[in-house]
């Protein structure tokens, strides 16, 4: 069983393929399947998310070409990824420069006229402000 066959199987499942189904479909044991998945992950052909099926932990595998440009589009503004995903900072959204910059990118990408004073310095951090403030 080849890596290419595993990738073809994953590609044929736009909703993502469960790793627990992959090794059964390819008629290989789960250890060999794990090695194939590891290679596909290392080569960045796929991504995976933990999933529980009937109380058993497995992974849902996604072909990268199918995930990029679709699943994460709502989290992208121009080339900036939504900053709250995975953030471990102490959260004060009103004073978060990362969030303000991301929102500003959304405004810019929507081709609306952005006010020149949209981002102002406040107490060492940037905050998004309306044009009247």
CB within 8 Å of 121: residues ≥ 6 apart: none
Question: 78-84 long-range CB contacts below 8 Å, 24 or more apart?
Answer: 78/105, 78/108, 78/109, 80/105
Q: Which CB, 28 or 107, lies closer to ligand SF4?
A: 107
Q: Is 96 in the site for ligand SF4 (CB under 6 A)?
A: yes
The region of 19-27, 57-65, 79-87, 122-130 touching ligand SF4 under the rule CB under 6 A is 79-87
Q: How far is the CB of 87 from ligand SF4 (least distance, A)?
A: 3
Q: Is 75 in the site for ligand SF4 (CB under 6 A)?
A: no
Which tokens in the block code for residue 3?
Answer: 């890596």
Select the residue interacting with ligand SF4 from 91, 109, 120, 125 (CB under 6 A): 91
Q: Which CB, 54 or 89, lies closer to ligand SF4?
A: 89
Q: Is 67 in the site for ligand SF4 (CB under 6 A)?
A: no
CB within 8 Å of 19: residues ≥ 6 apart: 33, 34, 37, 48, 58, 59, 60, 61
């Amino acid at each position: 069983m080849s890596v290419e066959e595993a990738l073809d199987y994953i590609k044929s499942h736009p909703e993502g393929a469960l790793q627990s189904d992959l090794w059964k479909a390819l008629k290989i044991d789960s250890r060999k399947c794990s090695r194939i998945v590891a290679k596909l992950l290392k080569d960045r052909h796929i991504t995976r998310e933990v999933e529980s099926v009937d109380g058993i932990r497995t992974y849902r595998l996604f072909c990268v070409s199918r995930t990029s440009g679709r699943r994460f589009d709502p989290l992208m503004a121009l080339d900036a990824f939504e900053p709250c995903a995975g953030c471990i900072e102490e959260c004060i959204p009103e004073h978060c420069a990362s969030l303000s910059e991301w929102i500003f990118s959304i405004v810019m990408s929507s081709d609306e006229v952005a006010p020149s004073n949209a981002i102002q310095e406040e107490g060492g951090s940037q905050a998004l402000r309306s044009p009247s403030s």
